[in-house]
């Protein structure tokens, strides 16, 4: 059950930058909202010079939708991470050596951006971990064809889910994700967020997370699971069609194995057993090394994968990874 705590004044998006939170790592850096708004240029479609929706417009539309949907809750300023910088310079500096460029002669925007907006007054606990309601989104300009004219819309990814305060891992599942929606205005983005928030059932999500605490796998089962995870990418395509997809890559599987032994919060117990809630957090922690444009899909895939392990243990469903 969600227990609201004391309501504080609603935050403003332009308030002081919140402390950096590593909800994703990969090759990303943290950037404050005001820096993106005042210093970064906005890309355009090459053939007609029409602007794309800026990162700040995207974030502002999400913040406004959340503020209206939860008018009495505390809403923290967005935490933003970016990657793949696109650098340039003003025309007057086109012939200058790089070492002689002044800061005002440089231009910059980031091809990929992810952000989260936390609502700390809506929370619950799972296995002793505080989970808070979190809304966010991803914009990756590489998914749009910038060398063409402005078309039927730009691609965005929106989500609502829960953030584990112990480790900043995001818990996102299919009912909380709108991936690759196409819009051509800020108003359409806001409408998509309003729809997402209206139909997202946080109690149902929490129920599915809580049930993961009720089942565990042994060290031998974990070893088999990991072995099959490493086999999966190399299977013939005809066999892959019959097996649940695993989107994490080998380096992320290595991280799961390492953290199974060494993670302070989610490692195995003294005899090698690990409950599925902890296993899920090993997957979501490993997913932090995904690039921004694959991060949300892999997050949902991680939940689906562990949920299928639960069904195998609870309902005796066949699961290739544990067979």
Q: Which domain holds residue 300?
A: 215-315
Radius of gyration of the chain (CA): 21
> Is residue 184 located within the same domain as residue 288?
no
Q: Point out which residues pair with 113 in neighbouring strands.
A: 82, 139
pTM above 0.75, yes or no: yes
In this predicted structure, what is the pLDDT of residue 146? 82
The reply to whether 166 and 229 lie within a common domain is no
**192 inside domain:** yes
Looking at the fold, whether 34 and 109 belong to one and the same domain comes out as yes
**What is the pLDDT at residue 282?**
98
Contacts of 183 (CB under 8 A, 6+ apart): 53, 153, 154, 156, 189, 192
Nearest of 100, 109, 171 to residue 140 by alpha carbon:
109
Q: Are residues 55 and 185 in the same domain?
A: yes
Q: How far apart are CA 270 and CA 63, in angstroms?
A: 44
Return the percent helix, strand and coil in the chain, to nearest 5.
40, 20, 35
Task: Write down the pLDDT at residue 45.
Answer: 86
Same domain, 184 and 219: no
Count of domains for the chain: 2
* Residue 22 main-chain phi, psi, to 5 deg: -90, 70
- Mode of pairing for the β-strands spanning 170-171 and 79-89: unpaired
Beta bridge partners of 86: 109
* CA 213 from centre of chain: 23
What pLDDT is stored for residue 12 in this prediction? 60
Asked whether 229 and 246 are in contact (CB, 8 A), the reply is yes
Residue ranges, the chain, pLDDT below 70: 1-21
pLDDT at residue 9, as a whole number: 41
**Contact yes or no for 33/56 (Cβ under 8 A):** yes
151 with 50, same domain?
yes
d(CA 250, CA 201): 33
The answer on 220 and 153 residing in a single domain is no
Q: To which H or E segment does residue 187 belong?
A: helix 186-199
């Amino acid at each position: 059950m969600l227990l609201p705590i004391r309501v504080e004044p609603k935050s403003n998006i332009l308030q002081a930058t919140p402390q950096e939170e590593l909800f994703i790592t990969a090759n990303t850096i943290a950037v404050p909202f005001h820096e993106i708004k005042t210093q970064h240029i906005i890309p355009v479609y090459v053939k007609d010079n029409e602007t794309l929706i800026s990162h700040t417009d995207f974030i502002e539309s999400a913040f406004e939708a959340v503020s209206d949907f939860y008018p009495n809750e505390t809403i923290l300023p967005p935490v933003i991470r970016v990657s793949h910088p696109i650098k340039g310079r003003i025309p007057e500096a086109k012939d200058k050596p790089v070492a002689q460029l002044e800061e005002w002669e440089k231009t910059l925007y980031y091809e990929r951006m992810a952000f989260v907006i936390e609502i700390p007054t809506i929370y619950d606990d799972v296995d002793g971990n505080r989970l808070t309601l979190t809304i966010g989104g991803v914009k990756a300009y590489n998914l749009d064809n910038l060398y063409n004219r402005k078309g039927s819309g730009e691609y965005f990814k929106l989500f609502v889910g829960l953030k584990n305060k112990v480790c900043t891992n995001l818990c996102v599942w299919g009912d909380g994700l709108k991936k690759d929606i196409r819009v051509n205005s800020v108003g359409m983005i806001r409408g998509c967020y309003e729809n997402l928030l209206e139909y997202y059932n946080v109690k149902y999500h929490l129920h599915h997370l809580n049930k993961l605490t009720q089942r565990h796998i042994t060290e031998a089962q974990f070893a088999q699971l990991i072995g099959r995870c490493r086999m999966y990418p190399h299977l013939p395509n005809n066999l892959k069609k019959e097996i649940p997809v695993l989107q994490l890559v080998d380096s992320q599987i290595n991280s799961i194995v390492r953290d199974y032994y060494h993670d302070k919060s989610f490692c195995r117990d003294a005899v090698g057993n690990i409950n599925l809630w902890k296993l899920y957090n090993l997957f979501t922690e490993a997913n932090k090394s995904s690039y921004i444009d694959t991060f949300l899909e892999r997050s949902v895939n991680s939940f689906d994968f562990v949920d299928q392990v639960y069904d195998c243990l609870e309902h005796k469903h066949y699961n290739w990874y544990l067979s």
